[in-house]
């Protein structure tokens, strides 16, 4: 498998999942600084011009939840209820948390006026703090689903890493802070740091 990524983006989640299971894969860096994600070469891989993109023997996957479930099905709880609760957290991360964060630097996705971009940026500390409060209530501890590491942990970690830069005082959320500490010490995260996926 070949995973296209940019450092510190949501592609980190896919890298963590692959690392958790010891998968054999190749990393391909996409240089956002030079707008490589908008190049014809990359758009032929992911027409959305975003990361991650996972090249597999079956084809290409481009959405984080799909990549996580394909790449590391062993990190899905066997119990249907717990699997559904895991997906509940992951869907929230995709549909709300990531969008809240993106308002800080991707305002052009939703508006055209600079004043609108400024307003969106000012709102980010509030919406991301509300995100942290929601996640605090969802985390069963020590990991998202309790003692078992699941795909939700791979997905939450990069978003939690964005939070201080988004104006969130993580120390106000003890379960989330403890999760960041514990999950951040895992070999999967250490390898991501060594490989330059997390900086």
Mean pLDDT calculated for residue range 46-50:
97
CA proximity to 87, closest of 103, 99, 71, 75: 75
Cα–Cα distance, 157 to 188 (Å, whole number): 11
Entry field: residues in the chain: 199
CA proximity to 22, closest of 136, 138, 188, 140: 188
Q: How far is CA 119 from the centre of its chain?
A: 24
Q: Which of 17-26, 119-128, 159-168 has the lowest mean pLDDT?
A: 119-128
**197, exposed or middle or buried, with CB in 10 Å at 0-12, 13-18, 19+?**
buried
Query: What proportion of the chain, given as a percentage, has pLDDT over 70?
Result: 99
Region class of 111: left (phi > 0), else alpha (psi between -120 and 50), else beta: beta
Instruction: Share the mean pLDDT of the chain.
Output: 95
Cα–Cα distance, 37 to 45 (Å, whole number): 10
Output the pLDDT for position 108.
Answer: 73
Mean pLDDT calculated for residue range 167-196:
98
Cα–Cα distance, 72 to 76 (Å, whole number): 8
In this model, does residue 107 exceed pLDDT 70? no
Give the tokens for residue 178.
């403890």
Task: Tell me if 52 sits within 8 A of 64, measured CB to CB.
Answer: yes
Cα–Cα distance, 154 to 174 (Å, whole number): 19
In this model, does residue 104 exceed pLDDT 70? yes
In this model, does residue 111 exceed pLDDT 80? no
In this model, does residue 115 exceed pLDDT 80? no
Query: What proportion of the chain, given as a percentage, has pLDDT over 90?
Result: 90
Alpha helix stretches (DSSP H) within the chain? 11-20, 40-43, 64-71, 80-92, 98-102, 114-138, 151-162, 174-183, 187-194
Cα–Cα distance, 76 to 74 (Å, whole number): 5
Cα–Cα distance, 161 to 40 (Å, whole number): 31
Q: Which residues pair with residue 53 across a beta bridge?
A: 4
């Amino acid at each position: 498998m070949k995973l296209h990524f940019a450092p510190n983006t949501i592609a980190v989640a896919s890298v963590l999942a692959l690392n958790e299971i010891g998968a054999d894969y190749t990393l391909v860096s996409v240089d956002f600084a030079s707008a490589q994600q908008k190049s014809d070469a990359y758009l032929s891989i992911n027409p959305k011009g975003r990361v991650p993109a996972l090249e597999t023997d079956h084809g290409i996957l481009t959405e984080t939840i799909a990549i996580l479930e394909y790449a590391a099905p062993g990190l899905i709880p066997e119990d249907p209820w717990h699997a559904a609760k895991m997906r509940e957290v992951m869907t929230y991360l995709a549909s709300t948390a990531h969008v809240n964060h993106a308002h800080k630097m991707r305002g052009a996705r939703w508006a055209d006026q600079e004043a609108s971009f400024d307003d969106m940026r000012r709102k980010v500390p509030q919406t991301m703090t509300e995100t942290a409060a929601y996640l605090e209530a969802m985390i069963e501890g020590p990991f998202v689903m309790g003692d078992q590491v699941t795909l939700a942990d791979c997905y939450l970690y990069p978003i939690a890493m964005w939070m201080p830069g988004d104006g969130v005082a993580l120390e106000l959320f003890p379960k989330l802070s403890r999760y960041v500490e514990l999950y951040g010490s895992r070999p999967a995260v250490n390898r991501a740091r060594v490989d330059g996926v997390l900086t």
